[in-house]
Structures are given as structure tokens and as C-alpha cells.
Structure 1
């Protein structure tokens, strides 16, 4: 690594792993799958991480702390909404820091609450008294504290019960819901549309994987309710601009894309 404070500071994999509390094996794996690769190569051929790589590493770790899987993280960080250079467009750095901070503060609050309850239970036990049922339940609630609710609705295409299912499911997912719904899901549609416009048949494994992931997200936010999942798909078909939050010109033709994805799910060609 170069001197501290140098704008061109770089890190070898071992030093970076030790600094961040990761293993060298983890960083090598992330390099292999393309999630985080060292950008600089020394004259001697050694690969080193740059400060830009550290920014991406923070994003990976912050998104992982919100419960996102590595594939979803890669999709979010590499998403291209059609604005700028296409690198990390889908993730707002300020929002990510706020979500990360909120998660840390919520965890601290939960741990502080649990600590106080455990202290009271310890005092009771030390005095030879068994903790009350109420104290035990309080400790259990503090141990299993849930993530804060997050409102989500799909305009007026779903009935009240379906909207409630979506809202409850998004609340259970927590802050990760934003990245799944507003970053990964539109990016999956963009990738599928690029394959469609390139003439790739819907039976291609790449298309079918994208459709399968969309269905996983639909099931996650619909609580497995098939009617709600179907309503969500219809909303994407009828108004992709509203669903994705992207300009109408960007989503032009996404109605045909919905049919294309239906063929992919059925394993048939148009």
C-alpha cells in the first residue's frame, strides 16, 4: 500500500482483507464472480485494489448488511438506468449510507434494550428469584426485534387485501426492499429487453434465469399469493414506466417484453 493520505493509495489483497475483517478467500471469490475485482496492476504484474475499489467494497458490505445476496448486490451496483456511464447508477450513495446508518442504529437500540432486560433478569436470578413470564417475553421480543415497516403500493391495480400483502411483505424485508424493488427488478427487465431486442429466443437459458429471478422477487413481495403475483406482473405489463420509475421512452416496448418473458416461463418460442 502506498503512503497513507496519498490519492493513489492501493492495497494488496492480504492487507485489504486484514483491514476490513474479511478473508483473502472471500476477496478472491468476489473477484472470480466479478463482484469486486482489483483495478490496478503493478509493473510486476501484481493486482492491487484502488480507492475506487474500496468505495465499491463499502457498497457491497453495506448492501450485504441489509440482507441482500451477492447476485442481487452485483445487479444493483452494475445496473444502468440509461443515465451517466452506467456504473452504479442504480444505487444512490447517500441513501445507502442512510440505510446502513439506520440499520446500525436500529441494531444498537435493540441491543441496548436487550442489555437492560438481561441485566434485570440477572439481578432477579442473583437475588434467588426466578424471572417473571413478562420479563422472559420482553427479552424474547428484544432478541427477535423486527425491521421497521416500509410502505409499498402498486397504484390502484390491486385491491386493498393485495396492497396490504405487499406492504406487509416489504416491511418484513426492511431497507433491502428499496434495492430489490427499485434497483434490481428494473435492471432485470432492462437485461431481458436487451436480449429480446437482440433477437435472443425466450427459451435461451439467460432469459429463463432472468424470468425466474423476477418470479422469485414477485413471490417474496406477494407472500406467495399467486393472485397478487399475477397482478404485479400485469402492472409491469400495463405500465412499466410507473413500475420502474424510468422515462417512458426507456420502457417503450416493455409490453412486448412481458409476452417474451411469459414464453420464457413456459419454455416456448413466439
Structure 2
């Protein structure tokens, strides 16, 4: 029997498949329970037995999850008949993107290491290069947990088209808008207040510059900021609470009716 034929006819019990795939037995049981990955066979005693076809579906599940899709969406994609060529191509694009960011970081860290080895001193430009590359790699990794590769590429393309203004909007204006929201919240200003709604309007304008008005991408970016504001803002000292609480406050403003403004003198 040829090797590929043996692979097709090989079967795995749950423990063996969990070990080979890096998953837990509990995860495989859960995926079976929700119908995401149901083993093709059962033993007489009722134990799960996975086949080569099940293994192929498992790869697709893991690849789609790596692209940022949730389990419900993955199930819908697979049940609708996902194109395996496109799946592998998208997975490869995601890996290439991650490798490119790491290669940039490696190059700049190597330059920094060489300067340190030469005389123990580091030039300002080399240090800033390394810091920026580190920050970009971390921000990209955070975004990839909330957005699929196509959305991450769209964000990068729109940011590049903005030129130097992108840095100002992301690392100066955006954090300052959060700080203003925090001050209004601390002062007890209701989310429906016009001052808060003006902040929301400006933040949504900025989001549209980078997302093209795509609500899904905007939601993913906000989730990334809530998860890791220190990487998204480029400020390693940023406290997640400084962003999460104002973010909830701003989200409340988006969903409440506005308070009428008083007469202007």
C-alpha cells in the first residue's frame, strides 16, 4: 500500500489526535458536541475514531481559526463548502505577513546589537528603529487576534496612504481622545452629553480613515485597543483600564439618545 493510501486509511482515537494536533481532549469533545468536528466512526464501546477525512477538516478548522474566525463562522464556512486552495493561500498570506514583521524586527535588532557590541553605545536612530519595529510587530499580532488577514492588510494599506498623518492620528490624537473621555467620565458627565458625543463623532471619523467605514473592522480595532492599549498606542506604560473604561463609556454614548444642548450665548 502506498504511503498516501495508508494516510487515508489511518485512524486516530481522541487522545492520539489531541496530542498530534496540540489540542486538548476536552476541546475535541466540545467540537464534537457542537457539530464542528464529528468523528466519522465509533468503536463498539462508543469511543470516537477519527479518519483521514476528519483530519482534513481539522486542518481547515485550525487554519480558519488562525485567520481570526470564530467557531460558529468556521462551521458555516465548512458546511457551505470552503475552497481548500483559497484556504491554504489565505493561511500562507497570514504566515508571510507575520514573517515579514519578524524579519523587519530581526534586522533592526541586529543593527542595535552590532552597535552595542562595537562600543557599548547605541545611536538614537537605531534605538528608535528597534522600538518602532517591536511596537509594530506587537500591534500586528494583537490585530490578527481580532481581524482576518484581509482586514489587517486593508488597515495597513489605508494607513500607508495617509503618510505621516497616520502616526499623528494613531499615536497622538487617538490616545488624547481617550484621555478626554476619561476626564469626562470621571467628572460624571453622562454618555448622552453633547461633549461626549462630539468625542465619539471624532473617533468614528478617525476610524473611518483607516477602515473605510467597515463596521466589522472598526469593532475589531476597538477590541484590539481594549485588549492591549500599550501595544496599540505605542506607549508601554499604558494601563488597560485607562482605555477599557473610557471605551465602554464611549460605546454607551453610541447607543443612547443625545441630550439636547443648552442655548448658546
Q: Taking structure 1 as the reference length, what is the TM-score of the superposition?
A: 0.49
Larger of the two Rg values belongs to structure: 2
Q: Taking structure 2 as the reference length, what is the TM-score of the superposition?
A: 0.50
Higher helix share: 2
RCO (CA 8 Å, sep 6+): is it higher in 1 or 2?
Answer: 2
